[in-house]
């Protein structure tokens, strides 16, 4: 029972690694969460919180964006996410498509990562639109399918089909966790990794 001694180049690995991926969280705000109809809302929040905690554990660059907070129309990012990243300021937009906001695109490109793990509400809009634009610019996009939701089951599924047809690579939050951890011999993260995975899975 041995793993390869030298791990694969984490920067060039075809799979997600802490060195080649960044996380983007878009519009996880109270209004959007409450309007999701494709997934149980508690499960949705638990799953995106797990994704956030994984990004924190593995030191992924993280970009958080909101829409219409400064205009007073919407509330800020839900506290379950900001509790994980109290040091991060959300990039607030008026554009429905985050990729049409210069500050957002600048922040994403500043991570220097070509693999973007993305979660956004809703699936058919705020996940689909920036994903399509990022893919068109040669970025690899990994939507976390069980940490997003749409205004209906049909809308969610149509949104996912649309971006997959364009080249997005769907993952679950547990597959993300295991892809980043990769080996139980990486003991510096195993304890918290297990706490995140099995605590949420046990709910």
Looking at residue 199, its pLDDT comes to 82
- For residue 15, being part of any structural domain is answered with no
- For residue 129, being part of any structural domain is answered with yes
CA 103 – CA 59 distance, rounded (Å): 22
- For residue 197, being part of any structural domain is answered with yes
- Tens of pLDDT, residue by residue over 80-123, are 999 999 999 999 999 999 999 999 999 999 999 999 999 999 99
- For residue 178, being part of any structural domain is answered with yes
Backbone angles phi, psi at 121, to 5 degrees: -120, 130
Q: Which residue segment(s) compose the domain that 77 sits in?
A: 21-201
Structure tokens, 116: 């973007």
Task: Indicate if the pLDDT at residue 39 is higher than 80.
Answer: yes
Looking at residue 6, its pLDDT comes to 60
| Side-chain half-sphere exposure of 107, counting CA atoms within 13 A | 22
- Tens of pLDDT, residue by residue over 121-174, are 999 999 999 999 999 999 999 999 999 999 999 999 999 999 999 999 999 999
Beta bridge partners of 23: 62, 117
Query: Is the dihedral angle over the CA atoms 90, 37, 136, 111 positive or is it negative?
Result: positive
CATH of the domain at 117: 3.40.50.850
- For residue 93, being part of any structural domain is answered with yes
H or E element in which residue 63 lies = strand 62-67
- For residue 32, being part of any structural domain is answered with yes
Structure tokens, 57: 């554990």
CA 104 – CA 24 distance, rounded (Å): 10
| Closest listed residue to residue 8, CA positions, set 125, 194, 183, 201 | 183
Looking at residue 8, its pLDDT comes to 86
Clarify whether 178 is annotated catalytic. no
pLDDT band at 3; cut points 50, 70, 90: low
Structure tokens, 128: 């689909």
Looking at residue 101, its pLDDT comes to 98
- For residue 195, being part of any structural domain is answered with yes
| Side-chain half-sphere exposure of 163, counting CA atoms within 13 A | 32
- Tens of pLDDT, residue by residue over 50-89, are 999 999 999 999 999 999 999 999 999 999 999 999 999 9
pTM: 0.94
Domain count, the chain: 1
Q: Which of 126, 127, 139, 171 is catalytic?
A: 126
- For residue 150, being part of any structural domain is answered with yes
């Amino acid at each position: 029972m041995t793993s390869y001694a030298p791990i694969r180049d984490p920067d060039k690995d075809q799979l997600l690694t802490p060195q080649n991926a960044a996380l983007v969280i878009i519009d996880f705000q109270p209004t959007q969460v409450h309007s999701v109809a494709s997934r149980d809302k508690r499960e949705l929040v638990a799953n995106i919180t797990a994704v956030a905690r994984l990004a924190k554990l593995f030191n992924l660059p993280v970009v958080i964006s909101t829409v219409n907070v400064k205009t007073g129309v919407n509330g800020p990012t839900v506290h379950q996410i900001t509790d994980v990243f109290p040091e991060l300021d959300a990039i607030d937009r008026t554009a429905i498509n985050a990729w049409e906001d210069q500050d957002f695109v600048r922040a994403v490109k500043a991570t220097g990562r070509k693999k973007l793990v993305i979660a956004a509400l809703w699936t058919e809009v705020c996940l689909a639109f920036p994903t399509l634009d990022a893919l068109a610019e040669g970025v690899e996009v990994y939507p976390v399918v069980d940490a997003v939701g749409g205004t209906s089951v049909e809308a969610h599924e149509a949104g996912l089909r649309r971006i997959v047809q364009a080249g997005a690579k769907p993952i679950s939050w547990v597959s993300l966790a295991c892809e980043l951890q990769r080996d139980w011999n990486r003991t510096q993260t195993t304890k918290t990794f297990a706490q995140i995975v099995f605590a949420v899975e046990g709910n």
